[in-house]
Amino acid sequence: MTSPRVVSLAPSATATVSALGAADLLVGVTGHCDPPDDAGRAHDRDGPPETVGGWLNPDLDRVADLDPDAVLTSDGLQADLAETCRDRGLSVSHREPADLDAVVETFAARGDDVGRPAAGERLASAARERLDRVAAAVAGRPRPTVYCEEWSDPPMVAGNWVPEAVRAAGGRYPFVDAGERSREIGLDAVAAADPDHVVVHVCGRGDRVDPATVDDRDWAVDAPTHVIDDSLLNQPSPTLIDGIERLARVFHPTAFRSADQGEEGDA
């Protein structure tokens, strides 16, 4: 059976395909994607998958030249792009999860998209098991109030699945409801909520953010600032589960201390 040729136009799709163990199917990705070293090998490529441009402005002629069996897109910002690809006769699988459950369901759906349904089901099941373990660890503990900032100029409070990610990690998030888009927020509104933690995950910046840009603001917030790689919270891929585990350890370090010490002892 011939392996499908897959072009991913979304970093989250690329990360999910990689987590499925199907990175070898990728023949094209965007410059914002981070494919593993084995990407493209199913098609005897000499190097990594071809880079076809940015995630909002890919070169669709280059995409078409790769003769893909599936083009993967994600997020409402790529909805028009997905339609444009379809208009060009490309087979597109567009996934647009808005909350945490939908993100996990997308893991299984991506397995279907690339012809690896069993791997997709396993990935979704493993994600749910990890979330269950976090939930058990933080159960019954006081929930700190958390402010998550997705953009800093102007400040934007994170929406989509981030409210649920914070709650899954044992926090309280009074700023945006799950499924709502990220939005601009006034500093007075943040201060009024009196957060116990400030989490900064600026879109596209990884963890390359100076916490002083937030700490030195003229605002009435007295809480520690945690800079987290934006892919751990902004990306609807398995890295989001990593991000939830990371947040849970920030909010409730004693809940995981025994387990972490056990892991060190086993090393």
Task: Give the CB-side neighbour count of residue 236, counting CA atoms within 13 A.
Answer: 28
Last residue of a domain, one of 96, 130, 154: 96
CATH assignment at residue 239? 3.40.50.1980
Does the pLDDT at position 38 exceed 80?
no
> Are residues 82 and 163 part of one domain?
no
- Give the model's pLDDT for residue 267: 42
Counting residues of the chain whose pLDDT is more than 90, the rounded percentage is 82
Based on the fold, state whether residues 19 and 85 are members of the same structural domain.
Answer: yes
Q: CA 51 to CA 58: how far, in whole Å?
A: 9
Q: How far is CA 138 from CA 67, 196, 257, in A?
A: 48, 16, 12
Residues 41, 151 within the same domain: no
Q: 92 and 197: one domain? A: no
pLDDT of residue 195: 98
Percentage, residues of the chain above pLDDT 70: 93
- The answer to the question of residue 184 being in a domain is yes
Residue 21 lies inside a defined structural domain of this protein: yes
Confidence label for 7 from pLDDT (cuts 50, 70 and 90)? very high
| Residue 42 resides in a domain | yes
Position 125 in a domain: no
- Beta strands of the chain (E only): which ranges? 6-8, 26-29, 50-51, 70-74, 92-95, 146-152, 155-157, 183-184, 197-200, 225-227
User: pLDDT grade, residue 141 (50/70/90)?
Assistant: very high
Q: Pick from 62, 96, 130: which residue ends a domain?
A: 96
For 149, the token pair is 């900032």
> Phi and psi at residue 116, in whole multiples of 5°?
-125, 60
**Mean of all residue pLDDT scores within the chain:** 92
Q: For residue 45, what pLDDT band results from cuts at 50, 70 and 90?
A: low
Q: Each residue of 66-88: pLDDT tens digit?
A: 999 999 999 999 999 999 999 99
pLDDT at 265: 47
Average pLDDT value for residue range 89-100:
96
Q: Domain for residue 183, yes or no?
A: yes
The Cβ of residue 104 has, within 10 Å, a number of other Cβ atoms equal to 24
Please give the pLDDT value at position 247. 98
Higher pLDDT, 189 or 44: 189
| Number of residues written out for the chain | 267
- Do 152 and 85 share a structural domain? no
**Residue 37 banded pLDDT, cuts 50, 70, 90:** confident
Mean pLDDT, residues 233-252: 97
**What whole-number distance in Å separates Cα of residue 111 and Cα of residue 21?**
10
Distance CA 239, CA 245 (A): 10
- Residue 58, preceding bond cis, omega within 30 degrees? no
Q: Are residues 154 and 218 in the same domain?
A: yes
Query: Which range, of 58-62, 100-104, 198-202, 208-212, averages the lowest pLDDT?
Result: 208-212
Summarised one tens digit per residue, pLDDT across range 203-229 is 888 889 889 989 889 999 999 999 999
Return the pLDDT at 46. 57
What is the 8-class DSSP label of residue 139? T
* Bridge partners for 137 per DSSP: none
Number of Cβ within 10 Å of residue 146's Cβ equals 28
User: What pLDDT sits at residue 3?
Assistant: 86
Under the banding of pLDDT at 50, 70 and 90, the label for residue 266 is very low
49 Rama sector, left if φ>0, alpha if ψ -120 to 50, beta otherwise? beta
Lowest mean pLDDT among 126-135, 172-181, 211-220: 211-220
Calculated CA dihedral for residues 72, 59, 87, 83, nearest 10 degrees: 50
Domain encompassing residue 248 = 146-266
Query: Which pLDDT score is estimated for 166?
Result: 98
Domain boundary among 96, 128, 157: 96
Domain count, the chain: 2
Band (pLDDT 50/70/90 cuts) for residue 8 is very high
